[in-house]
Amino acid sequence: MAMSSESNTQSKAFAARDITNIALIVALIEVCKSGLLFLPNIELTSFWIIMFMLFYGRKTYLVIPAFILVEGAMYGFGLWWIMYLYTWPLLGLLAWIFRRIDSWLFWCVLSCVFGLSFGFLCSFPYFFMGLSSGGIKHAFSVQIAWWVAGIPWDIAHGIGNFVLMLILYKPVSKVMRKLYKKDTVTTEVKE
């Protein structure tokens, strides 16, 4: 079975319904995040961003900043918050670029690779911190040292993302296909 999600029929206007949708999606992400806090580096945020980007479309790009703002308001606007400003939008962008690929395995791998790269992506602010207290060599050493220290957690993050996508992609995509078919996405199913 092959599926392609087209967003060309999506309503471009931003309706009150979208505000409600976005609020609910952010709430869903936050609840999942809080529920999984006891498992280090296991999260459903990547999964939901990918799924909503696939089925809810471009408007998910309003979900991501809303989620980042809520995170900052809840946990404080620290250095990690700067990292969130580009890591989650990057995942959204990747999901958008590859949105036509209906391969469960592809999304497992993309989610996994994102988890494995998360520490490296987050290490860039440390480069600039190092740069402010020394030269480029020092900046690189600060960035690399920070990244290396977190590698075991990145591996856990990547494996967790793979397993969660493996388990949830098919049932959740089935529900989302029905949910967003009418008002947001034209879904073409070929047997």
Partner 1 sequence: MKNKKKLLLVLIPIVLILVLAIVFFALKPKATKGSKSIEIDVVDDQGETVTYEFSTDAEFLRQAMDEADGLTYFGDETDYGLLVYEVNGVNADYSVDQSYWAFYVNDEYCNYGVDEQPVADGDVFRIEYTK
DSSP state of 6: E
CB distance 32 to 44 below 8 Å: yes
Residue span binding partner 1 (CB under 8 A) among the ranges 14-22, 80-88, 102-110, 173-181: 102-110
Residues 6+ apart with CB under 8 A from 73: none
Distance CA 126, CA 119 (A): 11
Q: What is the DSSP string of 109-125?
A: HHHHHHHHHHHHHHTHH
- Tokens 């993302």 correspond to 161
| Cβ proximity to partner 1, 19 vs 105, nearer residue | 105
Q: How far is the CB of 146 from partner 1 (least distance, A)?
A: 5
Is residue 167 near partner 1 by the rule CB under 8 A?
Answer: no
Residues 33-72 binding partner 1 (CB under 8 A) are 40
CB distance 85 to 68 below 8 Å: yes
Residue span binding partner 1 (CB under 8 A) among the ranges 13-21, 27-35, 90-98, 111-119: 111-119
Q: How far is the CB of 86 from partner 1 (least distance, A)?
A: 20
- CA nearest to 180, candidates 31, 21, 67: 21
- CA nearest to 107, candidates 164, 149, 157: 164
| Cβ proximity to partner 1, 23 vs 97, nearer residue | 97
Is residue 128 near partner 1 by the rule CB under 8 A?
Answer: no
| Cβ proximity to partner 1, 143 vs 184, nearer residue | 143
Q: How far is the CB of 150 from partner 1 (least distance, A)?
A: 8
- In the complex, the residues that contact partner 1 under the rule CB under 8 A are 40, 76, 103, 105-106, 109, 112-113, 116, 133, 142, 144-146, 148-155, 158-159, 162
